[in-house]
Every structure is written in C-alpha cells, then in structure tokens.
Structure 1
C-alpha cells in the first residue's frame, strides 16, 4: 500500500484508518451480540459508568477529547435516551451528565463483548512483534483479512458459554481486589483510610489475620471479589464485595455471597455481619435474599464514615429463603 511505503511520515494517517476499522469491528461485534451501542460513544458512556455523573468539561479532560466534541456527542446521547442532564446537587450553577437507568442496564451486560474485543485486539497488536510499524502492519492485515472479527466472535462465544467460578485468594490477584473495589468506591463514595489500607495490602490486613478473599472469574477473567474480615474469634465481617462494570447481572454477586457464607460456615463462625449504605439498593436486596437481617442502628464503632446500614446473617432465615427458591446447580469453588 502507498501509505506503508511512506514509513513514519504516514503513521498518523495509518493510525486513523486503523481506528476507524476498529470502530467498525467493534460495532459489528455489538450488533452480532444484540446491542445497539455505537463504538464511538464508548469513552463517554464508559466514563459515566465507572466514575458516575460528571460535567462535559470533566469528561473531555479525562478522555482526551475537545469540549465541543463531547458536548455534541452528549446532545446526541441525550436525544437517544442514553444519558440525562441535571443540576449538580452541590453547585446549582453546574450541570452534570449521568447515565439513564436503561443505559445502566444495557452497559451492565456488555462486559463479555468488551472482553472479547480486548482479547482479540491485544493478540493482533503483538502477533508479529518487531517495530511499531511492523506491528501496525500486522494489525492492519488482521483487520483486512477478517481475522480480528473472527477472533472477537470466537472469544465472545467462549465467554457466553463460560460459567462463573469462585476461586480463593492468590497474591497475583491482589491487584484485582484493589481495582474492583476502588472502582465502585470512587463511583459512589470516596476511598477512606481503612479502604486504602486493606486494598493496598490485603495479605497483611485480610489473609494474615485469619480472613479470606474470594474472586469470581469468567473464562479466566477476574470480574468480582469479596472478603471475609476476621473481627474476633468466630466473628467475621463480609466486606469489599465488588463486581466489575459490564459484568453485573450475570450472577457473580450472588455466587460470591453464597461462597462467602459457605466459607464462614466451613470455619464454624458464630457471627457474620456487614456494613453498607442505603444508597446501594440492589446490593441490600442481594444481602437480604441471602439471609442478612437489618439491625435498627448502625454498628457501634463502625470502621466506615459511609456506613448507615448494619446487617447480620441469620442462618434460619437463610434456610427459609433457600426452601422457597428454585433449585440451583451446586456452586463450584476451584482451587480449594
């Protein structure tokens, strides 16, 4: 091709062409999976999904696009029902964008497609190694030949057929424990000092004192986590439960909760409690369905400034709930 012969002089032009080809490949993957998102919208929608409501100025600075470009896209997304605009509760002069409830639902199902695109693109980028131009040429060839699209389809098929599994703590997964929890804490609250300590060194603050950390995986991808913190002999706190944006609604949270309760019982624990917030409605419903009962006041001596909910696990209630529920397949915990 002509541009290839121009070497580094045509790098920008080739990267732009590859960018548009990747958008097309991503859109094809979305359509095949039954999603109506456009790949060009991804940076804005993903930012709002992960970070929460934000102004056009904040979004533009974070994703490296101009204010007019983000403003124009925001207008389009508002017209199509993906986002809404409201006045900032802390500053009435400032407007912020946020996802609509329907957009939240749609994006929470996109994790497998995003994972498939990432896997295929990562493999194409390093296929032949060599210089940047060599890698770019290999990438272009993969797109032109249809290999990238085929790889995305194959990865997505694997992920759709995969079963969520629960695995115990591994030192090399500590980064996921921190990543997943930091994401949701920064979306809904702020990282408190106790969070920074536990997430920064889970071995010292959770495992060594006698607690446990569990991970939810899908075809090898870590998509969720939770911890059992040992408060005292026989007393444990269910804490740091988080599921990655894009993989919510697939049952990872429930499997983590069931596995954490099973681990608590395996250790012959006497008391299992948790602290949460009234802002987290779906999470509270999950805990209630798992046998946790609300106590009328926050826990005395709570570690967290954000906590205004205190719940304790009651095995008898859990048994009654299980008796009413439809039979489920036995939970598989690997690596035990």
Structure 2
C-alpha cells in the first residue's frame, strides 16, 4: 500500500483498519464454533457476567460507546439468544441479563478475550507507537475538541 500524506483519506483508512481487526476476530469466533457471533457482543457479555445485570446506560458508560450503539447491540444480542431484557426501577430503563446460552459460551469467549488481548499487545510492539495508546489519546483529544470544531478552524 502506498503511503498517504498525513490526514488524507483518514476516515477511509481507519474504517479499513477496523474492518481488518473486526474481520479477523469474527473469523476466530467462527474457528471456535461461534459463526455469526459479533465481536461487539463480547464486552457486553463479559461485563454483565462479572458485574451482574446492567442497564443499557450503565453498559454504554462503562464500555465507552453511545447509548444508541449499545442499545442496537443489545437488541441484536437478544435476537441471537444471548441476553434477555427486563424492566428496571424506571419504566424506561431496560436491564440486560445473560441467557443460559451466553453463560454456556463464556469459557470460549474468555479464552478468545485473553488471546485477543495478547495479540493486540504483540501488534503494539510492532508499531512505532502502540495503537491502543494512540486510540485512547485520539478519543481524549476529540472529546476535548471535536473534529468538527477543528475543521471549522480551518475553513
């Protein structure tokens, strides 16, 4: 792949990177006997398993994604038979519980999680700057000043 000048096609290249990472993790799930299992399910299952039933809002806050994103993920997980939703104290609140099926696959997910974490550390050692550190720094910087504001500074 040709080297692109800094900033050109950044979104496209980031999507390609994410596609490569998620695609490989998805193939690992298939290799482990879980075809169709989505990588974004694992943090939800692990968190509900370790911390107990969680509201959609609590899951979003802990995982670091939007309420909308986690709600969509949880709804897909419900359709896939991995979680059940129960009303919370507030009628608008939905509490996520694991199904027996999700508990059955926990050992496989745990092994994959630890292997993926180790593989990520391996990848970080091959890069001039650890990807995990750069992603965290970019998220903090964009939280401080969104890209929209940065773009307007240059318009």
The TM-score with structure 1 as length reference comes to: 0.35
Task: Kindly name which structure, 1 or 2, has the bigger radius of gyration based on alpha carbons.
Answer: 1
Select 1:130's aligned residue among 103, 128, 153: 128
Do the aligned partners of 2:124 and 2:130 also contact (CA within 8 Å) in 1? no
Aligned to 2:110: 111
Q: 1:44 offset after TM fit, Å?
A: 2.2
Aligned to 1:40: 40
Q: Does 1:70 align with 2:61?
A: no
3-state secondary structure, aligned to 1:38: coil
Over 3 Å counting, the alpha-carbon distance change for 1:123 and 1:68 in structure 2 is same
* More strand per residue: 1
3-state secondary structure, aligned to 2:101: helix
* More helix per residue: 2
Q: 1:92 offset after TM fit, Å?
A: 5.6
Gapped regions of structure 1 (runs ≥ 5): 137-336
Q: 1:121 offset after TM fit, Å?
A: 2.2
Aligned to 2:144: none
Higher relative contact order (CA 8 A, sep 6+): 2
3-state secondary structure, aligned to 1:7: coil
Provide, for residues 120-169 of structure 1, a one-character-per-residue CA deviation record: whole Å limited to 9, x for no partner.
22112212x43469xx9xxxxxxxxxxxxxxxxxxxxxxxxxxxxxxxxx
Aligned to 1:57: 57
CA distance in structure 1 between the aligned counterparts of 2:54 and 2:40, rounded to whole angstroms? 19
Aligned to 1:95: 94
CA distance in structure 2 between the aligned counterparts of 1:126 and 1:10, rounded to whole angstroms? 25
Q: 1:10 offset after TM fit, Å?
A: 5.0
3-state secondary structure, aligned to 1:108: helix
Tell me how large the CA RMSD over aligned residues is. 2.5
3-state secondary structure, aligned to 2:86: strand
3-state secondary structure, aligned to 2:53: coil
CA distance in structure 2 between the aligned counterparts of 1:19 and 1:6, rounded to whole angstroms? 20
CA distance in structure 2 between the aligned counterparts of 1:108 and 1:131, rounded to whole angstroms? 32
